[in-house]
Structure 1
Amino acid sequence: MALCRSFARLLCKQADAGLQLTKQAHSVALVGAPLSRGQKRRGVDHGPATLRAAGLVERLAGLGCQVYDFGDLNFTQVPNDELYNNLVLYPRSVGLASQVLADTVSRAVAAGHSCVTIGGDHSLALGSVSGHARQCPHVGVIWVDAHADINTPLTTQSGSLHGQPLSFLLRELQDKVPQLPGFSWLKPCLSASDIVYIGLRDVDPAEYYILKNYDIQYFSMRDIDRLGIQKVMERTFEQLMGRRQRPIHLSFDIDAFDPSLAPATGTPVLGGLTYREGMYIAEEIHNTGMLSAVDMVEVNPLLGASQEEVNATASLAVDVIATCFGQTREGAHTAFDELPTPSSPDESDSEEQVRI
């Protein structure tokens, strides 16, 4: 079995210098983020426990990764967390939880780990991306999702912060995003050219305006149908790493998959990624050798119609994460250096003749 070694800190430093790291091995920090205040449905806070029960730690360890399990973070529910602008839900609770997560992710990356954050709703990316960017200022983000999650507090129709995290993280939108209570710590850390979307198929009008007018690269499901997933990944890496190598942050919403594959989630949309497309995305990101952090979000075991649906959704999420760290569809192999050769026979020729 290939031994894993810490590389995230080295990756962040060498990526900016344009040095390609090869044959990466991984020291993985696993962070549970049971954040649920970013949306309205109950149950997504059980996501981390569901992924652990589906064998995530064992799968990563089986790939030779050294797993440092940080456990599940404790998030304080702020009392009397009033709506912002009579619409935006739980701003103080989400802001405080995101700050705790940002500090944790920052420490994990600084210690040399690749950080895997399991949620929880997608508002947790406020913390995970911010914490990652503290250590890797030139991080590139691949956002795999049915939704753009880039509404501002002034354009959101639902009021749910899990549909808004990228608007807070994007520098170009700084003058369009009001200061929410609980968000004073948060500073924009991404530029429009640092983000690539894959899998979009349910985009709000204001989000579409932002994608087009701020020149953000995205690949909708129609683009995937038209180009094929191989070309989509080639263009993704050309966008993010065409000029220099840089660490990658993969933020993966399980609803990027078609609901037939991932039914236990809060906002399913028909016509999503196939299993093969999802695994190909993870395989190609792993093959760059530049993956530094992963979010896996929106697995909600309370929304499965049966235990089989919950198990299928959790198993799919574990497959994505494991593939990011080296599992392949050619087989998850341990190190194999040489073929065995025949040893001396158990029986001499004469003994064989007697036996016959």
Structure 2
Amino acid sequence: MDKSSTSAIGTCRKLGVVGIPISKGQRRNGTEKGPQTLRDGGLLERLRKFGCEITDHGDVTLDCIDDDIPYGNVKNPRNIAMGSLRAADVVEKCLRTEGRCLAIGGDHSMAIGTIMGHARVQPDMVVLWIDAHADINTPLTSDSGNMHGMPLAFVAEELAPFVPPLPGWEGIQPCIKVEQIAWIGLRDVDPGERKIIEKFGMSAFSMHDVDNNGIKGILKKALDAVDPSGTKPIHVSFDVDAMDPTHTPSTGTPVGGGLSVREMCFIAEELALTGRLTMLDIAEVNPNIGDPKDVSHTVSSTIDVATHFFGHRRQGFVPAN
């Protein structure tokens, strides 16, 4: 790291925070409590400690549509559409006023709205999807019909021909290309998702790849794939199940053999040092899962990782004046 990178640590920078308390993208209640659980756990105070000038925009208002019957096998399509459009508006406003946004969820269907909102401001941004799951099923390939497993299919332009019209989705349009997406940490990919990834030659790095190349090598491969010039804004969409369940037990679809806190902190610190991290999603913290010790451990691990995206460095940092 050069001196310019070192001097940037601790510099007070504006950061907007948006809560997206959505749970209709999957079957278990509780992710709607994720934003407040992370706030109560001290997330914003920790970020301020590392030099962030926080503006908390509160939670996106999500009115429940009670008669939201499934469309085919897709569950809660109208609720997800409404939430996505509202989230997109708030994220766009946040990025235009603060320049950087942290969106705390909420299940991973939240990323439909965060990516839409980000693309309105920075259409050339790239997306690093850090997750155990690819989340690029379409309504036609999904076995469950749960929309937290489909967000990327709705925002990628090349997948539009494979996504049938859904009720309430008229305002949701694809906004990025598949070449703008790279995955890190995959270890539970459905056959239909694998077919999509291979069909479009997308950049997907599994835990097998991490084991073979190390996290430093994989992060470099992912960034080189989506941003070879090293100039584009970065959107990180981080599902806490990307980490091993020993670190984040309070999440809905845990998969063993995941990233360690150490590996996630490395990713976060390296991306922070680029100066191009514009948007971070944190998805799938569910305080209804596990006992209080599990919840506390999940919140602690998640907050620890989040702070490294915005200034916390394990080698130490210079506090903002």
- Note if contact 1:26-1:325 (Cα within 8 Å) is conserved in structure 2: no
> Structure 1 residue 79: deviation in Å?
2.4
Q: How far, CA to CA, are the matches of 1:334 and 1:108 in structure 2?
A: 25
2:314 — aligned with what? 329
Residues 119, 295 of structure 1: 8 Å contact kept: yes
Whichever residue aligns with residue 34 of structure 2, its letter is G
* Corresponding residue number in structure 2 for 1:243: 229
Indicate which of 14, 39, 44 corresponds to 2:26.
39
Q: In the alignment, which of 271, 293, 304 is matched to residue 319 of structure 1?
A: 304
Which residue of the partner structure matches residue 268 of structure 2? 282
Among 109, 133, 140, the residue aligned to 2:119: 133
SS of the equivalent of 2:22 reads coil
1:165, 1:309 → 2: CA distance?
27
**2:20 alignment partner AA:** A
CA displacement, residues 250-274 of structure 1 (integer Å, 9 cap, x when unaligned): 0000000000111000000010001
Q: Is the 8 A contact 1:37 1:94 kept in 2?
A: yes
* 1:75-224 equivalence runs, <5 A: 75-85=62-72, 87-224=73-210
Task: Give the deviation of 1:298 after TM superposition.
Answer: 0.2
* Correspondences of 1:42-53 after superposition (within 5 Å): 42-53=29-40
Gaps of 5+ in 2: none
Query: Could you tell me how far 1:332 is from its partner in structure 2?
Result: 4.0
User: 1:181-216 CA deviation, whole Å, 9 max, x = no partner?
Assistant: 121111111111101100000000000001111111
Q: Is the 8 A contact 1:198 1:219 kept in 2?
A: yes
| Shift in Å, 1:149 | 0.2
Q: Percent identity?
A: 44
Q: Does the CA contact (< 8 Å) of 1:102 and 1:127 recur in 2?
A: yes
Aligned residue-pair number? 314
User: How far 1:243 moved relative to its partner?
Assistant: 2.7
In structure 2, the residue matched to 1:3 is none
Matched residue SS, 1:105: helix
**Partner of residue 230 from structure 1, selected from 204, 216, 219:** 216
Q: Does the 8 A contact of 1:26 with 1:113 survive in 2?
A: no
**What's the secondary structure of 1:179's corresponding residue?**
coil
> Contact 1:256–1:273 at 8 Å: present in 2 too?
yes
Larger radius of gyration between Structure 1 and Structure 2: 1
Give the whole-Å Cα distance in 1 for the aligned partners of 2:318 and 2:293.
28
Runs of 4+ in structure 1 deviating by more than 3 angstroms, as ranges, are 22-25
State the SS of the aligned residue for 1:109: helix
Secondary structure of the corresponding residue to residue 244 of structure 2:
coil
Aligned equivalents of 1:198, 1:29: Cα separation in 2: 25
Partner of 2:239: 253
Structure-1 separation of matches of 2:311 and 2:304: 11
8 Å CA contact 1:26–1:65 kept in 2: the answer is yes
Q: Is the 8 A contact 2:51 2:311 kept in 1?
A: no
Q: Does 1:70 align with 2:54?
A: no
Conserved 8 A contact 1:98-1:126: yes
Q: CA deviation at 1:238?
A: 1.1
Asked whether the equivalents of residues 16 and 98 of structure 2 are also in contact (C-alpha less than 8 Å), the reply is no
**Structure 2: how far apart are the matches of 1:71 and 1:171?**
31
Counterpart contact for 1:105–1:128, Cα < 8 Å: yes
Partner of 1:28: 15
SS in structure 1 opposite 2:123? coil
In the alignment, is the contact (CA less than 8 A) between 2:51 and 2:320 conserved in 1? no
In 1, are the aligned partners of 2:155 and 2:175 still within 8 Å (CA)?
yes
Residue 48 (structure 2) aligns with: 61
Q: Distance in 1 between matches of 2:12 and 2:143?
A: 43
Kindly state the Cα deviation for residue 244 of structure 1 after the two structures are TM-superposed: 5.0
Q: TM-score, normalised by structure 2?
A: 0.95
Alignment-mate amino acid for residue 136 of structure 1: Q
